[in-house]
Amino acid sequence: MGSFESLQWLSRFLDETPGDSEVGGRSRQVPKACWSRVHPSPPPSPELLLWSEEMATTLGLDRPDGMLLGGGPVVSGMDPYAQRYGGHQFGNWAQQLGDGRAITLGEVQLQNEVLELQLKGAGTTPYSRYADGKAVLRSSIREYLCSEAMHHLGVPTTRALSLVKTGEMVLRDMLYNGNPAPEIGAVVCRVAPSFIRFGSFQIHSAMGDDATLKTLVEHTVKHHFPNHSVIDDDGRIAWLTHVAEETAVMISHWMRVGFVHGVMNTDNMSIHGLTIDYGPYGWLEDYNPGWTPNTTDASTRRYRYGQQPQIGGWNVARLLESMVPLMDEPERLHEALDAYTEAFDLHHNAMWVAKLGLDEFQSTDESLIRELNALLQEVETDMTIFFRLLGSLESPSIDALLDCFYDQKDVPSNEWTAWLTKWWARVNGAPNRDSMRHANPKYVLRNWMAQLAIDAAEKGDLSVAVQLHDVLQNPYDEQPEHEEQWFQKRPEWARNRVGCSMLSCSS
């Protein structure tokens, strides 16, 4: 273990891709660049609130004070920068976006991998547009807890190393309804192989800058997809097929655990198929495929739970389009798009096999799954509790499932008995309980759980955040001591509470 100074810092991205000649500076367009060097803003009175021992061990880091991880002076070896990218936001091309408040400190060479360390909320960059480059405690706790929870659920994700309170208040209009209020400022340090996004490629293609597009593709493949080569169309299609498949895998995991990202804009899609940019995400509590946590998306619900697989495909299509200038035969890009659909179907079917404890997927299972989806929506039914209890059923009777219903009076018992009987016969009275236990988590970061951690942390009490971080490290374990508190349906107070059922991008 050691200090930040003792890490082996690299700056491959800066060395190998074209960047901005200016350092820092006001918000502006930065044509032909993949990045701008920036200085993080040192926090006035930093305090390290949360520290992931697990991530620290991976990096070989001792617990530092809050200064450095809050944006304090950089150490030798770091070469901080903000990445330039574009993106489609809610279906529309938004041109240059970029890291408006994320600042990469550098890449760290470890024994078997290179990881990028990035501060979120450490001040403005040339990509901050009209905003302040800061982040608040509320959204930082949500990112810290959720990314770690997702990792332990087996969902591909960026990680979190630390959360620092900056000692500064930040003005936020939480619901974008004309009520700005001061909130506690914070910075999360997040970690990933890279933070390259679909939008990182799109921006160069959209600007007609084929040379930079090509350089970025070559850099990305060389370091992050070393088994691929993009010297010809065959190679490019193989790489893009890989990216499409990884994206499909990620989204099938989201569907499995009931995660709704909330802002699946193409600037929030990692080229590694990692869940990235935790904003107004939410977890399905009652099983409603039409639900989106994001109030900004309330009118069209573009990013609702049930539409995530289609949006994933739409986003992959935008990435593929951006590669047209590099292709000798651009029509071949359809192969990679088809691969997305095929991979999603494959993993989605495998997901149902595991969730329902089946032996393998048979075409007749489609009706079993369709009927279950309909039944789960008839009355308010908790997704997580339902699947977890299903895995311990001893007979096809609804009695042992009753805890998953919000109102036990209206439960359509006959329909449930019919479905359970059909399922029981399908598994010959012996569901694969082991696979069910590994596919159906017992503990997820329910919206109200994150909110309880935030409410306490805003009063200076981190115990809830720390406890949730611990419980969510083993989400598939029974942990009976935590059942009464955390294996529970949404409490009534959370039904219409801001932060639980309603979130916005304000963070």
Among Mg ion, ligand AMP, none, partner that 99 touches (CB below 5 to 8 angstroms by kind): ligand AMP
Instruction: Give CA 200 to chain center in angstroms.
Output: 17
**According to the binding rule CB under 6 A, does residue 321 interact with ligand AMP?**
no
CB nearer Mg ion, residue 83 or residue 162: 83
* Tally of CB atoms within 10 A around 110: 12
Report how far residue 55's alpha carbon sits from residue 39's, in angstroms, rounded to the nearest whole number: 25
Radius of gyration of the chain (CA): 23
CB of 134 to ligand AMP, least distance (A): 6
268 binds Mg ion (CB under 5 A): yes
| Known catalytic membership, residue 328 | no
Site string for ligand AMP, 129-168 (x = CB under 6 A): --xxxx----------------------------------
10 Å CB burial of residue 113 (0-12, 13-18, 19+) is exposed
Interface with ligand AMP, residue 171, by CB under 6 A = no
Task: Give the side-chain half-sphere CA count within 13 A for 424.
Answer: 15
Q: Does 99 help bind ligand AMP (rule: CB under 6 A)?
A: yes
d(CA 125, CA 80): 11
The angle that helices 137-153 and 233-257 make with each other, rounded to 10 degrees, is 100
- Smallest separation (angstroms) from ligand AMP to the CB of 42: 17
Please count the other Cβ atoms lying within 10 Å of the Cβ belonging to residue 350: 17
Q: How far apart are CA 144 and CA 121, in angstroms?
A: 13
CB of 183 to ligand AMP, least distance (A): 11
Residue 498 pairs in a beta bridge with 502
Residue 457 main-chain phi, psi, to 5 deg:
-65, -35
Q: Which residue's CB is nearer to Mg ion, number 64 or number 100?
A: 100
Q: Please state whether beta strands 102-109 and 114-120 pair in parallel, antiparallel, or not at all (unpaired).
A: antiparallel
Q: Is 268 in the site for ligand AMP (CB under 6 A)?
A: yes
Beta strand ranges found along 54-210 (DSSP E): 81-83, 86-89, 92-96, 102-109, 114-120, 135-136, 159-172, 181-192
Which range of residues in 107-115, 145-153, 206-214, 264-272 is near Mg ion by CB under 5 A? 264-272
Q: How far is the CB of 191 from ligand AMP (least distance, A)?
A: 17
84 or 490: CB nearest ligand AMP: 84
277 in contact with Mg ion (CB under 5 A) = yes
Is residue 277 part of the contact set for ligand AMP (CB under 6 A)?
Answer: yes
Inter-residue contact 75 to 4 (CB < 8 Å) = yes
235 to 264: interface string for ligand AMP, x by CB under 6 A: ----------------------------x-
Nearer to Mg ion, 147 or 349 (CB): 147
> What's the token pair of residue 75?
């150490």
| Token output for 83 | 């990445």
Nearest approach, Cβ of residue 119 and ligand AMP (Å): 12
Shorter beta-carbon distance to ligand AMP: residue 261 or 446: 261
Q: How many CB atoms lie within 10 A of CB 403?
A: 14
What's the rounded Cα separation, in Å, for the pair 396 and 419? Answer: 9
Q: Quote the least distance from Cβ 90 to ligand AMP, whole Å.
A: 10
Q: Minimal distance in Å, beta carbon 120 to ligand AMP? A: 9
- Which residue in the set 42, 100, 154, 289 belongs to the binding site for ligand AMP (CB under 6 A)? 100
Q: Which of 20, 99, 209, 267 is catalytic?
A: 267
| Residue 342 CB partners (closer than 8 Å, separation 6+) | none
| Total of chain residues touching ligand AMP, rule CB under 6 A | 17
Give CA separation, 169 vs 67, 136, 432, in Å.
17, 8, 52
Residue number, 118 or 220, with CB nearest to Mg ion: 118
- With CB under 5 to 8 Å by kind, the binding choice for 40 among ligand AMP, Mg ion, none is none
Sign of the dihedral through C-alpha 439, 440, 441, 444 = positive
Give whichever of 131 and 400 is closer to Mg ion, judged by the CB atom: 131
Residue 175 near residue 502, CB atoms below 8 Å: yes
Stretch in the footprint of ligand AMP (CB under 6 A) among 54-62, 99-107, 151-159, 496-504: 99-107
CA distance 325 to 203: 13
Site string for ligand AMP, 106-135 (x = CB under 6 A): ---------------------xx--xxxx-
- Using DSSP's 3-state secondary structure scheme, residue 67 falls into helix
Q: Which is nearer to ligand AMP, 98 or 431 (CB)?
A: 98
Euclidean distance between CA atoms 99 and 83, whole angstroms: 5
Residue 143 contacts Mg ion per CB under 5 A:
no
Ranked by CB distance to ligand AMP, the top (closest) residue is 100
User: Which of Mg ion, ligand AMP, none is residue 444 near (CB under 5 to 8 Å by kind)?
Assistant: none
Structure tokens at 410: 């209206």
- Contact yes or no for 188/163 (Cβ under 8 A): yes
Report the alpha-carbon distance of residue 25 to residue 43 in Å, rounded.
19
Q: Is 84 in the site for ligand AMP (CB under 6 A)?
A: no
User: Which residue, judged by CB position, is nearest to Mg ion in the bound state?
Assistant: 277
Q: Which is nearer to ligand AMP, 118 or 447 (CB)?
A: 118
> Is residue 279 near ligand AMP by the rule CB under 6 A?
yes
Q: Give me the residues that bind ligand AMP (CB under 6 A), please.
A: 97-101, 127-128, 131-134, 263, 265, 268, 277, 279, 505
Q: Give me the residues that bind Mg ion (CB under 5 A), please.
A: 268, 277
Q: Catalytic positions, please?
A: 267
